[in-house]
Amino acid sequence: MVAKTFFGFEKILAEELRVLGAGKVQIGTRNVSFEGDKGFMYKANLCCRTAIKILKPIADFRVMNEDDLYRRMQRINWRKFMDLKTTFAINATVSGPTFTHSQYVAFKTKDAIVDKFRREDNLRPNVDVKHPDVRFNVHIQDNWCTVSLDSSGASLHHRGYRTATNIAPINEALAAGLIMMSGWHGQSDLLDPMCGSGTMLIEAAMIACNVPANLNRKEFAFEKWSDWDADLYDLIEGSALKRVKDFRFKITGYDKAPSAIAKARENIKNAQLSDFITVEEGNFFESEKPGDDFLQIVFNPPYGERLPIEMEEFYKQIGDTLKSGYPGSHAWLITSNMESLKHVGLRPSRKIKVFNGSLESRFVKYEMYAGSKKAKYQERE
């Protein structure tokens, strides 16, 4: 199988799959290939935090042009996966000089399937792009084509808990990946000082409590397959739920907007995590760290893409607030605004290239020491 993810999160996803019990895990670009049985396919969809699709390849071959693609698609035994009553959809991704339009590749694949059934039965199955019985994925890299069954359906970042969103909400799987990349797994208090609709907070709580990422999701594509085994899935889900654990630290979110706090509370309630997360109306720039214990800060500040803000001054205030109010903290933030990042006025100890949607971004870490840095090092010695 192949698990698709975002650029930069391949190693995290590979480790997730290994921990879950996958075999022959291999890292690719924006994907990780692995081996497992049907039960593991269910488990990967349910539990992987940084995967956006779990694909099951059914054919691969070299294709030289559009006519060749059509002929090769007709050779596949589609009846193993569908019949005349099955509705289907095709998703395609292409890269390379020969095939440049993904929609055209999807269209040619659809034609090949429909024409094959029509030639053999004088009837054709129907396409349903919104809610098909089976979804196929076609991936062409240069001239190599891989056809897969899409076991997930809608992208796995659709967790099922987020019914209310703020402006520019962060993708759930991306949020989980950033929190994992920051090294946090529930070993300290955590703060999102610009929490919006609460996605970072919810993903952090699910990581801390080991709640399966897609427990609240309404359905997966594999539930419509002819070999769907509901009893096996219940067994997998029950086993995952036995690993859920308690969490003794605090997860807190601030936001200036009352509407954002209301949305965050609704989403937190939907995720059944109200016991672990506190959100309150507040301005980060007027706040300071409560207590002396170590604090992990992870947040997604505005980039200036969709929110009208004087960005240089805004990012300067982020740095000033961290310096004056948050000693003994590690602060991670993601931004695509590289220019404004320079105005934070702190030297990042790490800077990682990631993408937020199509926006090339940086995930940066600032280490705020209690007292001078020299004293901190001396204290460790």
| Domain coordinates in residue numbering, the chain | 2-150, 172-210+246-380
Residue 305's pLDDT band (cuts 50, 70, 90): low
Q: Tokens 């940086």 sit at which residue?
A: 362
Q: Where are the beta strands (DSSP E) in the chain?
A: 2-4, 23-27, 31-35, 53-62, 88-95, 134-141, 144-150, 189-192, 251-255, 277-281, 295-299, 329-335, 350-356, 359-368
State the fold for domain 172-210+246-380: Rossmann fold (3.40.50)
pLDDT in tens, 267-282: 999 999 999 999 999 9
Residue 45, φ and ψ in degrees, nearest 5: -65, -40
- Spatial separation of the C-alpha atoms in residues 325 and 349, rounded to whole Å: 19
Quote the CA–CA distance of 359 and 355 in Å, as a whole number.
Answer: 5
Q: What is the pLDDT of residues 51-84, one digit of tens each?
A: 999 999 999 999 999 999 999 999 999 999 999 9
pLDDT exceeds 60 at position 373: no
pLDDT digits (tens, 9 = 90+) for 138-154: 999 999 999 999 999 99
Q: Whole-angstrom Cα distance, residue 381 to residue 379?
A: 5
Q: How confident is the model at residue 126 (pLDDT cuts 50, 70, 90)?
A: very high
Q: What's the rounded Cα separation, in Å, for the pair 54 and 1?
A: 7
Query: Across residues 327-356, what is the average pLDDT?
Result: 94
- The HSE-up count of residue 189 (CA atoms within 13 Å, CB side) is 16
Q: Are 307 and 216 in contact (CB under 8 A)?
A: no
Residue 40: CA count within 13 A, CB half-sphere = 17
Q: Does residue 229 sit in helix, strand or coil?
A: coil
Average pLDDT, the chain: 92
Q: Percentage helix, strand, coil, to 5, in the chain?
A: 35, 25, 40
**DSSP assigned state of 127:** B
Which architecture characterizes domain 2-150 according to CATH? 2-Layer Sandwich (3.30)
Residue 309 pLDDT class (50, 70, 90 cuts): low
CB 179 within 8 A of CB 191: no
2-150 shares its CATH topology with 172-210+246-380 = no
The span from the CA of 42 to the CA of 136, in Å, is 17
- Please give the backbone phi and psi of residue 193, each rounded to the nearest 5 degrees, phi first: -80, -5
| Joined tokens for residue 119 | 């030639």
Angstrom distance (rounded) from CA 87 to CA 125? 6
- Predicted pLDDT of residue 162: 87
Mean pLDDT confidence for 41-53: 98
pLDDT score for 370: 78
In this prediction, residues 11-17 reach a mean pLDDT of 97
Calculate mean pLDDT across residues 354-364: 92
Confidence check: pLDDT of 307 > 80:
no
Cα separation, 21 vs 239, in Å, equals 13
- The per-residue pLDDT for 302 is 81
| Res. 304 pLDDT band, cuts 50 70 90 | low
Kindly report each contact of residues 286-294 with a partner whose C-beta sits within 8 Å and lies 24 or more positions away, as own/partner: 287/193, 287/254, 287/321, 287/325, 288/324, 288/325, 288/326, 289/325, 289/326, 289/327, 289/328, 289/329, 292/328, 292/370, 293/188, 293/189, 293/328, 294/188, 294/189, 294/328, 294/329, 294/330
Residue type (1 letter), 1: M
Question: Identity (one letter) of the amino acid at 228?
Answer: W
Listed residue (302, 347, 303, 305) closest to 322, CA to CA:
347
Neighbours of 380 (CB within 10 A): 6
Q: What is the pTM of this model?
A: 0.90
What is the tens place of the pLDDT at every residue in 167-217? 667 999 999 999 999 999 999 999 999 999 999 999 999 999 999 999 999
* 380 pLDDT above the threshold of 80: no
- φ, ψ for residue 199, nearest 5 deg: -60, -45
pLDDT band at 306 (very low <50, low <70, confident <90, very high): low
User: Distance between CA 5 and CA 28 in Å, rounded?
Assistant: 10
User: Is a pLDDT exceeding 60 seen at residue 377?
Assistant: no
Longest dimension (CA), the chain: 81
Indicate the pLDDT class of residue 334, thresholds 50, 70 and 90: very high
Q: What is the mean pLDDT of residues 290-300?
A: 94
Work out the average pLDDT over 337-343: 91
CA–CA dist 228, 216 (Å, integer): 19
